[in-house]
Each structure stands twice: as C-alpha cells, then as structure tokens.
Structure 1
Amino acid sequence: MSRPLALAAMSAAGLLTTLITAPSAVAATGSPAPECVEYFQSWRYTDVHNRCGDTVSVTVEYTDGQWAPCRVIAPDGWATFSGYGTNGNYVTGLRTCDPVLVTTEGA
C-alpha cells in the first residue's frame, strides 16, 4: 500500500471512530424545560426566553427529530436557535440538556 493511500485510510478510520463514539444530542437531553422558559418561532429563527429566576440549559426539539445544540440561558436572558425553515421543521418543545462546552447567552 502506498504511503498517501495508507495515510488517507488512517485519517478516514480516525474520523469514523470519532463519529461513532461522539454522544448524540438526543442522549444529552433531559426533562421538559420549566414552564417559565418560552419560545417564539418563525421560519428563520426560534427565540427562547428564560423568565425563570435561575439559569437554565435548554435545547430545541424539531418535528424531524433533530435537536439544536444545548444553550445556557441566564435569568431573563434570550438565546436564538434555527427556525422552522421552508420545509416546515417546526419546534415540538424545549428540553433541559447537559451544558457541556456551551457558551452562556445573557440578557
């Protein structure tokens, strides 16, 4: 096997291993978000407002089964997620999530 071909095969194997061992967004979700966290959706954006007195970590679930990245939202803060788009991929709800490697969205 030539050196460039072997290097390409090793790179592909490493990428596949990363994809297989990476946790899915669904596995990181918890219970439904508190009622004091509300969302407003449009075709372009879904805005989430934390009206709670505590910081919350939430993700958005869509009709196609996909999940948005987890976001940490401070009290009275906002976060923006993808909207439903031209295919009608509407939000079905908000769920709590594990805030690993996320940034805080402020007020």
Structure 2
Amino acid sequence: LASIYALTKYAQERAVLIFGDAYGVDAVALRLFNVFGAGQALSNPYTGVLANFASRLANGQRPMIFEDGEQKRDFVHVRDVARAFRLALEQRQARGHVINIGSGRA
C-alpha cells in the first residue's frame, strides 16, 4: 500500500468485515471520497477545498493553490453519501463488501 494512512484504512476495513463474518453481524465498508456540502469547514485545505475556493472567489480573492495545482480529486456531495449509506443498509448484497463512494470523476 502507498502509505501508512492507506494501510490503516485497509486494516480497519478488513477488521470490520472479519468481525461481521465471525459474529454474524451484517457489515459493509464504505470508502468515502472527498465529501462536500453545506457547512463545509474552510480550515482544512484538502477536505474544504471547494468551500475555500468559493469563499475566496465570493470575496474577490484568488483561490489558494497548494502543491503544483495539477492534482485531481473525486468529489461527492454529502447528499449522495447519505444515499449510499442508506442503500448499504437496505441492500443485502452490499454486506461483506468494500464499496467506493465517489462521483467517478476526477
């Protein structure tokens, strides 16, 4: 895996699914991509990038670009994330799986 962060995320997913299997608990792991929506924190330059850009532009300022500006990220609206959580709870075929929750566009 590419980083300690990725390794710990993977280990957590596996632990949830193994626990579910061992104890007969319905479990699913959802991998959320970059969630955005109302109330987005401006203080985090990565998770709040859309809110940060919008706020700066609305105030006549240029958006702050980090690193080389060539990064691509998959953003997903919080309503779509909520829907994904609901579907994961309702759809039996989701159980025991890891599911990516994103827009599919970067």
TM-score by length of 1: 0.22
Q: Quick check: which has more Rg, 1 or 2?
A: 1
Q: Which structure has greater helix proportion? A: 2
Structure with higher RCO (Cα < 8 A, 6+ apart): 2
TM-score by length of 2: 0.22
Q: Which structure has greater strand proportion? A: 1
